[in-house]
């Protein structure tokens, strides 16, 4: 077992200082490998030492500019600190470096969503769903992006798949209610979906508001 793997095990056991010691040794022995820098960054991020964590993630990219894991780690750091433009750039580099996995496409798509660039987000969210059909959250975000770009039938189909996978996904039921109230103009179905939302999450403010609007219009 190498020192990175042992360090990760120590982290899982809550032995942070021992883990950091191993990561430091690994960096000294193999300064050209990114894994120890990434792991060191993870520990510092957990300790809320964000400035130093960022430096370690950047160092991982510097020593291994073709490392998809290094770019993904840096992107995740940026995303968690709401630096979505930089996050998108890093996730894009991770994909170009070979990380063609559902999660990397999902995080890139989500970054574009938070930047209000829905059209840019769509193909990446679609690819995430293609690679992992059981990723409910990716499919939900994909459905929202479809609705935002006026692809209502496809949005409805994907939201139905979300509630099929997760029968207590309150926000999926709510958005189905919105679709049926607005685009499909079926108030009965909209009522049903808002009611289902509130049955799952009684304090869902938007569903309660949507239901009141429907009642006023009747």
Superfamily of domain 1-99, CATH level 4: Tetratricopeptide repeat domain (1.25.40.10)
With a CB cutoff of 8 Å and minimum separation 6, the contacts of 196 are 173
Cβ neighbours around 148 below 10 Å, total = 15
The predicted model scores a pTM of 0.90
List, in order, residues 6 or more apart from 163 with CB less than 8 Å away: 169, 172, 173, 176
> pLDDT tens per residue, the chain (218 residues)?
577 788 778 778 888 788 888 888 888 888 889 998 998 898 888 888 999 999 999 999 999 999 999 999 999 999 999 999 999 999 999 999 999 999 999 999 999 999 999 999 999 999 999 999 999 999 999 999 999 999 999 999 999 999 999 999 999 999 999 999 988 889 999 999 999 999 999 999 999 999 888 888 76
What is the distance in angstroms between the CA of the first residue and the CA of the last residue of the chain? 68
Tell me the domain boundaries of the chain: 1-99
Among candidate residues 69, 13, 33, the one with its CA nearest the CA of residue 23: 33
């Amino acid at each position: 077992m190498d020192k990175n793997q042992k360090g990760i095990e120590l982290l899982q056991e809550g032995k942070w200082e021992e883990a950091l010691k191993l990561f430091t040794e690994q960096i000294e022995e193999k300064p050209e490998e990114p894994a120890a820098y990434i792991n060191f960054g993870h520990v510092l991020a957990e300790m809320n030492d964000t400035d130093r964590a960022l430096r370690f993630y950047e160092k991982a990219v510097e020593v291994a500019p073709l490392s998809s894991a290094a770019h993904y780690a840096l992107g995740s750091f940026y995303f968690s600190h709401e630096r979505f433009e930089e996050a998108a750039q890093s996730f894009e580099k991770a994909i170009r470096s070979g990380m063609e996995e559902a999660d990397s496409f999902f995080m890139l798509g989500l970054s574009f969503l938070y930047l209000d660039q829905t059209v840019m987000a769509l193909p990446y969210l679609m690819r995430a769903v293609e690679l992992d059909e059981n990723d409910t959250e990716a499919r939900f975000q994909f459905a929202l992006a479809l609705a935002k770009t006026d692809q209502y039938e496809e949005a409805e189909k994907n939201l139905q798949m979300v509630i099929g996978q997760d029968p207590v996904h309150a926000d999926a039921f709510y958005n189905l209610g919105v679709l049926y109230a607005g685009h499909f103009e079926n108030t009965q179905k909209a009522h049903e979906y808002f009611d289902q939302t509130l049955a799952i999450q009684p304090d869902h403010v938007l569903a309660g508001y949507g239901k009141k609007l429907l009642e006023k219009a009747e």
